Amino acid sequence: MRTSIPKSIIRTIQRAVIEFDLVESGDNILIGLSGGKDSLLMLYAFSVFTKHLPFPVKIAALTVDMGFDPENQNSFGPLKDICNNLEVPYEIVQAELADEILNNPTQNPCARCSYMRRAIIHNYAKDHGFNKVAFAHHYDDAVETFLMSIIYSGQITTFLPKTYLDRTGITVIRPLVYLRESDIKRVVKKLGITPIASSCPVNEVTKRAEVKDLIRNLKKDNLNVFSHLAAAMRQGRHIQLWPRELTKIEIREKSNKFWDKSRFDENKESDQRNNPDI
């Protein structure tokens, strides 16, 4: 398999690494390797990129098996072979949490799965001496998360290229944040990299898939939709928002003051004393 990563991909990753201070001398970085196209490209690209740095950096990879396909325990075997060929240490953690994720009536399964998977990876990193965890979220993921947060939670937020986690002392980095998903698909196909099919039963019916389709449809009428969303999630852009929503107590106090007739009577008497001719 030809695994020569295009220079354009390395340069794009380099831009993110430098702009957001993602990699430093002495880092021990754990790559979250799901086996999908994004994490596989990050594995290949990072194995090349880190070897050419002017300072020492160690990398390793970890896959969390959430137990969605218990009949096929060897589905991650190809990832082990890939890591061996790249000389990247690799481990698999068996979590067996599929039932809890899919049958939890109080939480969206995707949100639950993502939270639990991240927690497992963060704790593994802490326990095994890694100071950073690398996730393969790309530019489209960031913009989709930004729009999802507005539509489904009423918040203006997205994930950051770099986040320090106080509880574990781990720093999460996302080196692919400037890569478009279309570029990742193209390069993965060109290199002959075969992603591992997701075993998640709700993989194609998520809110993210809905938002991805929404952006795609909006772009049919306006090609700038994606770039405008990307610009809007940046600090320093013009923001004009309503004042914060008042609490019930604050509304009650303002309402009482608004309808307080005695307040106007007092003001009238004061005006008459100060202006006898009125």
Three-state DSSP class for residue 28: strand
Residue 158, pLDDT score: 95
By 3-state DSSP, what share of the chain in percent is helix, strand and coil, each rounded to 5?
50, 10, 40
Q: Looking at the chain, how many residues does it have?
A: 278
pLDDT tens by residue, 212-236: 999 999 999 999 999 999 999 999 9
Domain 7-232 superfamily per CATH: HUPs (3.40.50.620)
70: confidence class by pLDDT, cuts 50, 70, 90: low
Domain boundaries, the chain: 7-232
Task: Give yes or no for a contact between 97 and 67, defined as CB atoms under 8 angstroms apart.
Answer: yes
pLDDT tens by residue, 16-39: 999 999 999 999 999 999 999 999
DSSP E strands in 103-225: the ranges are 132-134, 162-165, 170-173
66: confidence class by pLDDT, cuts 50, 70, 90: confident
- Give the rounded percent of residues in the chain with a pLDDT score beyond 90: 70
Which amino acid is located at 118 in the chain?
A: R
d(CA 180, CA 56): 29
pTM: 0.86
Query: β-pairing, 162-165 with 170-173?
Result: antiparallel
Q: What is the rounded (10 degree) CA torsion for 77, 72, 202, 36?
A: 10
- Is 122's pLDDT higher than 80? yes
109: confidence class by pLDDT, cuts 50, 70, 90: confident
**DSSP tag of 65:** E
- CA angle, 178 as apex, 174 and 182 as ends, to 5°? 110
d(CA 134, CA 145): 18
pLDDT tens by residue, 235-278: 998 999 999 999 999 999 999 989 887 776 666 666 656 665 55
